[in-house]
Amino acid sequence: MKGGLFEVRHDSAILPLMCLLVLIWSGPAFSGQKIRMYEMNSKLQQRSIAIGGAAEKAGCHDLLWGKRIYRFVQTGFQWCSLYEQEGCAADSIVTAYWQDGKYRKYNIDGSKPQPKLYPGTKWIVDSAAADIQSWYCEAK
């Protein structure tokens, strides 16, 4: 259409290109990778801890301050681990239990302490007294 305020072109390549650019730009949002950590307050209520953009990225990440984590949630990663020392030091790994005991997807006895926390929302950290300093998540 010509003559108006805007000239409209009917080019069949523009729409697919725009769709592709949107998918590339928003790729991490579609990946579904995310972790959340919760602490227990003095009223025995769970409170989410703000950990920023690193919550969606694989690898080792340090918390700004150590936190007493009560519950851990992760989706989209192959597995994650929590550590009492910065830099994900192997000798400081913290274990967790699956709240319902049996973690069915991977046939794990979640009533025993687990160092690798697979996708799910019911990981209860073994020692609420442990200050978590870092975490590591393995991408799928």
For the segment 105-114, what is each residue's pLDDT rounded down to a tens digit? Answer: 888 898 899 9
CATH number at residue 51: 2.60.20
Domain count, the chain: 1
Name the residue type at position 14: I
Q: Structural domain of residue 77, as residue ranges?
A: 32-139
pLDDT digits (tens, 9 = 90+) for 85-101: 999 999 999 999 999 88
- pTM (2 decimals)? 0.74
pLDDT digits (tens, 9 = 90+) for 62-82: 998 888 899 999 999 999 999
Query: What's the pLDDT at 64?
Result: 85
With CA atoms as reference, report the closest residue to 123 among 134, 135, 133, 110: 110
CA distance linking residue 31 with residue 72, whole number of Å: 19
**pLDDT (average), residues 17-26:** 46
